[in-house]
């Protein structure tokens, strides 16, 4: 893996309150370092005092002086408790499959640190500090695709991170090289920790992986849904559609906020379009555009509102202190609970995959209309230079269709599945990690589908010359040209051009080009 982030200048300060979306993205994607506040260190010490007191008592306390899961009935003597923590981490670091993305691992590490900082887990300050140091030094444990059922939290992924704190297992150093954890710690001047009572469990019992992927997905969706509005507007323009259906007074008749925001974007992108103006007069015999054009704000808006709901769930989850058992310092006790169950996060991850599939499906339908001479209002078949000799963008739509079909399969919810584990003690699980993993694939697919629509719409608008596109559409066409996508002409090797536009969409360059001309989109 080579996606090594460039460290940010300012570290993120982790205190007893929630991590913000922006801070999580800064650490996960931009390589920001991390500092623990004095308030967090004080809270950590208070919780640790409670654990130490309970560990000294003769009465067993789950997670402190007992086994785990189905083995919780065994009282572990004091001289075996350090071994208990090491054994827990080693045995639970049982992931398999491909290595997950660096940004995902950094996100889950930050979120676990945030929970430790609340003072409800009972770890020592040196253990929390080492986790912060790994993030600051760019040391990223190797976490695998498979191993989490989303209950009790993301056990295997977090266990691989805890293993690195012990100086065991493999990690990626700041340059992305695969090295042994002990060597990476030594090179950074860090010492591994010897885990004591409660610490191993506190390090692995949380929904941090699925939550981290949710926040990253919401960051992506904020950009993608605005870019989808740009793509839809360019398609309406290129297919000689009307902008009248996006009028504010019509949208207000159905007062969904996402729909209203999407319609505003469509109107602004289409503003001052010579193409739209060319057929706006009384001679136009078009009565209604197809649904994929006319209903773009309704579908894109529903996706926006779904993302808003998911963001609300994520904000609540970021305020949570998820561990089992959890330390209640004010009462001086440790209590078992079920807050580690990933259902709240798993549901919205699945919901977002549904929205991504539907937005992509509509995008593909708009693209297909450009390529059919019976429906594209005077453009050449498949936007080809010499139809029959040239195939134009025929197979680009095939690629879109293949992706959309995959997105529909990925929209099947993971969170309705459950396979009992731990000798039926953990008899209902969330599969939230799986929901998050497939959502990442869904958003990659959505990015590609939107990119192909933009590529197609740009070519169509160029073929409408001498009619002038809107200033916003012209900015996108110029961006593509400058990036090496020249527009209409004889057939060329198409895959590199598609990938270029995919990168322009994923990086936010398409959105930035439009916003530079017309201001920020809603």
Q: What's the gap between Cα 114 and its chain centre? A: 19
Give the separation between CA 410 and CA 137, rounded to whole angstroms.
36
Give the separation between CA 105 and CA 7, rounded to whole angstroms.
16
Which residues in 116-255 belong to E strands, given as ranges? 140-141, 144-146, 170-172, 178-180
Give the separation between CA 411 and CA 195, rounded to whole angstroms.
41
With beta carbons less than 8 A apart as the criterion, state whether 469 and 273 touch.
yes
Burial of 408 (0-12, 13-18, 19+ CB in 10 A): middle
With beta carbons less than 8 A apart as the criterion, state whether 150 and 434 touch.
yes
Q: Active-site residue 291, yes or no?
A: no
Give the separation between CA 188 and CA 163, rounded to whole angstroms.
17
CA atoms within 13 A on the CB side of 425: 11
Q: Nearest Cα to 371, choosing from 459, 293, 288, 447? A: 459
Q: Nearest Cα to 345, choosing from 514, 150, 188? A: 150
H or E element in which residue 77 lies? none
SS3 category, 166:
coil
> What angle (nearest 5°) sits at the alpha carbon of residue 359, between those of residues 358 and 360?
90
Burial of 286 (0-12, 13-18, 19+ CB in 10 A): exposed
Asked if the peptide bond before residue 74 counts as cis, ω within 30 degrees of 0, the response is no
Select which of 62, 146, 291, 398 is catalytic. 62
Supply the residues annotated as catalytic. Answer: 62
């Amino acid at each position: 893996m080579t996606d090594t982030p460039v460290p940010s200048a300012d570290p993120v300060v982790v205190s007893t309150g929630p991590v913000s979306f922006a801070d999580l993205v800064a650490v996960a994607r931009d390589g920001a370092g991390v500092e623990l506040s004095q308030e967090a260190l004080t809270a950590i010490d208070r919780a640790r005092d409670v654990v130490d007191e309970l560990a000294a008592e003769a009465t067993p306390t789950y997670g402190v002086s007992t086994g785990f899961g189905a083995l919780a009935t065994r009282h572990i003597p004091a001289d075996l408790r350090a071994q208990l923590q090491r054994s827990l981490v080693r045995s639970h670091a049982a992931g398999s499959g491909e290595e997950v993305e660096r940004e995902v691992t950094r996100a889950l590490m930050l979120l676990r640190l945030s929970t430790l900082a609340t003072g409800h887990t009972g770890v020592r300050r040196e253990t929390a500090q080492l986790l912060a140091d790994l993030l600051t030094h760019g040391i990223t444990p190797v976490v695998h695709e498979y191993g989490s059922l989303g209950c009790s939290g993301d056990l295997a992924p977090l266990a691989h991170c805890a293993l690195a704190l012990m100086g065991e297992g493999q990690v990626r150093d700041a340059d992305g090289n695969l090295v042994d954890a002990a060597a990476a710690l030594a090179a950074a001047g860090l010492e591994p920790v010897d885990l004591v009572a409660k610490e191993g469990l506190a390090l692995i019992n949380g929904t941090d992986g699925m939550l981290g992927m949710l926040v990253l997905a919401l960051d992506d969706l904020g950009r993608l849904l605005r870019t989808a509005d740009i793509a839809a507007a360019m398609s309406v323009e290129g297919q000689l559609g009307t902008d009248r259906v996006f009028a504010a007074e019509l949208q207000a008749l159905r007062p969904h906020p996402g729909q209203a925001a999407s319609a505003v974007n469509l109107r602004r992108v289409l503003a001052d379009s010579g193409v739209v103006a060319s057929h706006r007069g009384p001679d136009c015999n078009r009565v209604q555009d197809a649904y994929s054009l006319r209903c773009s704000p309704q579908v894109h808006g529903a996706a926006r509102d779904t993302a808003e709901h998911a963001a609300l769930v994520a904000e609540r989850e970021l305020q949570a202190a998820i561990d089992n058992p959890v330390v209640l310092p004010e009462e001086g006790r440790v209590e078992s609970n079920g807050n580690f169950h990933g259902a709240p996060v798993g549901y919205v991850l699945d919901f977002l995959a549904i929205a991504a599939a539907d937005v992509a499906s509509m995008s593909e339908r708009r693209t297909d209309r450009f390529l059919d001479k019976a429906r594209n209002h005077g453009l050449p078949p498949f936007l080809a230079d010499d139809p029959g000799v040239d195939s134009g963008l025929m197979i680009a739509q095939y690629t879109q269709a293949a992706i959309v079909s995959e997105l529909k399969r990925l929209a099947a919810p993971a969170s309705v599945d459950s396979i009992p584990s731990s000798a039926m003690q953990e008899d209902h699980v969330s599969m939230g990690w799986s929901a998050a993993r497939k959502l990442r694939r869904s958003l990659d697919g959505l990015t590609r589908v939107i990119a192909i629509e933009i590529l197609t719409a740009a070519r169509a608008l160029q073929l409408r010359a001498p009619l002038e596109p809107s200033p916003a559409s012209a900015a996108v066409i110029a961006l593509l040209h400058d990036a090496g996508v020249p527009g209409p002409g004889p057939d060329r090797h198409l895959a590199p051009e598609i990938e270029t536009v995919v990168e322009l969409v994923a990086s936010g360059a398409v959105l930035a080009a439009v916003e530079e001309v017309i201001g920020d989109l809603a």
